[in-house]
């Protein structure tokens, strides 16, 4: 475990979030998980400063927000504010190039900006509704592109779906939806869009019992993963299943099970979760963080769905 924070960029995909969630989940009385989290936080803050000019795909707000709530770290709150308000993709209302961000090529950056606004508001910072709603509109357009094939570009290099990118967008919109529910002004577009996306991934990117190596002999008969990209695109990736990324995608299925009671979503989510846990190469920090950044939400939503829909 210690090497996770000894390696360069071990914070990628928000290791502070991963460790603080583990600390909360396991009642970390000894402070071990929190110690790891503080090391990750220090490395990430050093990377952000000075200038907060990091690329949009390196914005990770959850760990900062969790640190502020758990440890009362005002510096983490200030960093979260700067992450929201400074650097690439933060100027959606004034940037003349923002119209291009409706293209699905920018889905990850827009998803992270949604999450940054949501986490900032949940941490008590002022709400920026005009900017947040613009990002949400962009993310919904990304889902429309993936589900209908109507991309806002004719370049074949950018007319494809990566399942893990779709999972990141779904997670961001779920964060936003939960915030609107708490504020008693639920955005009803979100469940419909997430459901359409989840169905599309099942229909076009879901592969059951896809591996034959000895690792899979430990798995139950039914498990599955999502294809990396459809269609396959040179320099982007092929259409082989990618279990390393399953746990970036599975949470939307647990949330849809909670929202709809449809057993089909729970079944697909469980099959993806099992394959992700068994087959992911979590000895690499990036993959470790990808797998555990939102897996606690999966477990919570699934359990809540069981309570809500049990006969």
DSSP for 254-311, please give it.
Answer: HHHHHHH--HHHHHHHHHHHHHHHHH--TTSHHHHHHHHSSHHHHHHHHHHHHHHH--
pLDDT tens sequence across 239-267: 999 999 999 999 999 999 999 999 999 99
Average of per-residue pLDDT across 50-75? 95
Percent above pLDDT 70 for the chain: 94
Q: At what angle do helices 129-148 and 189-205 cross, to 10 degrees?
A: 30
Q: Looking at residue 122, what is its pLDDT?
A: 97
Backbone angles phi, psi at 229, to 5 degrees: -145, 140
Is the pLDDT at 311 greater than 90? The verdict is no
**Of all helices (H) and strands (E), which one includes residue 206?**
strand 206-208
Q: Looking at residue 217, what is its pLDDT?
A: 59
pLDDT tens sequence across 64-111: 999 999 999 999 999 999 999 999 999 999 999 999 999 999 999 999
Q: Looking at residue 213, what is its pLDDT?
A: 56
Q: In 218-262, which ranges are continuous DSSP H helix? A: 246-260
The overall average pLDDT reported for the chain is 92
Tokens found for residue 68: 């502020």
**CA–CA separation, 241 and 276 (whole Å):** 11
Q: Looking at residue 2, what is its pLDDT?
A: 45
- Are 302 and 263 within 8 A, CB to CB? no
Among 300, 287, 293, 311, CA closest to 9:
287
Q: What does the CA dihedral 236, 278, 202, 238 come to, rounded to 10 degrees? A: 20
- Quote the DSSP letter at residue 209: S
Average of per-residue pLDDT across 110-138? 97
Q: Distance of alpha carbon 237 from its chain centroid, rounded?
A: 20
Q: Looking at residue 1, what is its pLDDT?
A: 46
Average of per-residue pLDDT across 126-136? 97
- Are 139 and 165 within 8 A, CB to CB? no
Task: Quote the pTM value.
Answer: 0.94
Is the pLDDT at 215 greater than 70? The verdict is no
More confident: 30 or 220? 30
**CA–CA separation, 89 and 105 (whole Å):** 13
Do you know the residue count of the chain?
Answer: 311
**CA–CA separation, 21 and 298 (whole Å):** 13
198: left (phi over 0), alpha (psi -120 to 50) or beta: alpha
Judged by average pLDDT, the poorest of 65-74, 112-121, 231-240 is 231-240
Q: Looking at residue 294, what is its pLDDT?
A: 95
Average of per-residue pLDDT across 10-39? 92
Is the pLDDT at 5 greater than 60? The verdict is no
């Amino acid at each position: 475990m210690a090497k996770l924070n000894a390696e360069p960029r071990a914070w990628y995909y928000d290791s502070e979030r991963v460790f603080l969630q583990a600390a909360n989940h396991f009642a970390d009385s000894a402070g071990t998980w929190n110690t790891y989290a503080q090391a990750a936080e220090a490395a990430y803050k050093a990377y952000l400063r000075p200038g907060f000019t990091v690329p949009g795909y390196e914005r990770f707000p959850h760990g900062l927000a969790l640190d502020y709530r758990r440890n009362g770290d005002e510096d983490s709150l200030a960093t979260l504010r700067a992450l929201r308000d400074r650097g690439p993709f933060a100027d959606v209302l004034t940037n003349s190039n923002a119209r291009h961000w409706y293209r699905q090529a920018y889905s990850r950056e827009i998803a992270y900006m949604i999450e940054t606004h949501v986490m900032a508001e949940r941490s008590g910072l002022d709400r920026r509704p005009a900017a947040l709603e613009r990002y949400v509109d962009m993310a919904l357009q990304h889902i429309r592109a993936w589900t209908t094939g109507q991309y806002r570009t004719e370049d074949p290099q950018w007319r494809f779906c990566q399942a893990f990118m779709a999972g990141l967008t779904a997670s961001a919109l779920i964060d936003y939806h939960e915030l609107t529910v708490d504020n008693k002004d639920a955005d009803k577009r979100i469940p419909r869009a997430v459901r359409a996306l989840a169905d599309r991934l099942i229909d076009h990117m879901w592969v059951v019992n896809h591996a034959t190596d000895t690792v899979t002999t430990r798995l139950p008969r039914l498990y599955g993963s999502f294809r990396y990209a459809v269609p396959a695109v040179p320099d982007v990736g092929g259409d082989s299943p990618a279990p390393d990324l399953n746990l970036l995608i599975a949470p939307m299925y647990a949330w849809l099970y909670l929202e709809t009671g449809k057993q089909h979503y729970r079944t697909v989510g469980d099959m993806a979760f099992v394959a992700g846990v068994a087959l992911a190469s979590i000895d690499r920090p990036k993959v470790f963080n990808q797998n555990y950044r939102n897996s606690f939400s999966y477990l919570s939503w699934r359990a809540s769905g069981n309570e809500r829909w049990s006969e």
